[in-house]
């Protein structure tokens, strides 16, 4: 920006050094052109100042937003940990059985063990029966 204003000042000095009459057509044109260039340089400087101010403002907003996100997601992470603990508590209500054929782990609700009917649990991977209740008792095979 300094380079632009110094060039315009140089042009103003040349026009003054030439001793052009401002009453002639050429003199008026040159002085008006230099005046317009000076106004444009001032407008560009104002735009640069406004841009710097805007960048600082956006940076401040970004920092504030980062702090808010950090606070918000920290609380959300705590909520997720609570949910995970609840899920783990609920997992205690499930029975885990290994499939004899494919060796995948199969989980089923422990309440099925209390059912009076015959219950067969098959592996979702290979359809092998991994658990079956008898008519006489509700124990694993």
Residues 6+ positions from 50 with CB-CB distance below 8 Å: none
For residue 31, CA distances in Å to 14, 24, 26, 39 come to 11, 11, 9, 12
Spans of the chain below 70 pLDDT: 1, 75-92, 135-141
Tokens of 35: 């005046």
CB atoms within 10 A of CB 29: 11
The total number of residues written for the chain in this structure: 141
User: What's the CA gap between 75 and 85, in Å, rounded?
Assistant: 16
**Tokens 């104002």 belong to which residue?**
46
For residue 13, CA distances in Å to 2, 19, 31, 32 come to 16, 10, 11, 14
Predicted pLDDT of residue 138: 43
User: What's the CA gap between 28 and 30, in Å, rounded?
Assistant: 6
Predicted pLDDT of residue 137: 47
């Amino acid at each position: 920006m300094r380079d632009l204003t110094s060039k315009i000042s140089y042009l103003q000095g040349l026009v003054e050094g030439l001793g052009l009459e401002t009453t002639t057509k050429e003199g008026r044109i040159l002085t008006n052109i230099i005046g317009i260039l000076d106004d444009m340089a001032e407008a560009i400087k104002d735009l640069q100042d406004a841009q710097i101010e805007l960048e600082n403002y956006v940076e401040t907003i970004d920092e504030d937003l980062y702090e808010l996100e950090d606070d918000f997601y920290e609380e959300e992470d705590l909520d997720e940990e609570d949910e995970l603990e609840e899920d783990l508590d609920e997992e205690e209500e499930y029975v885990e059985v290994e499939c004899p054929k494919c060796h995948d782990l199969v989980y089923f609700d422990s309440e099925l063990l209390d059912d009076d009917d015959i219950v067969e649990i098959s592996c979702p991977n290979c359809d092998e029966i991994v658990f079956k209740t008898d008519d006489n008792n509700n124990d694993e095979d």
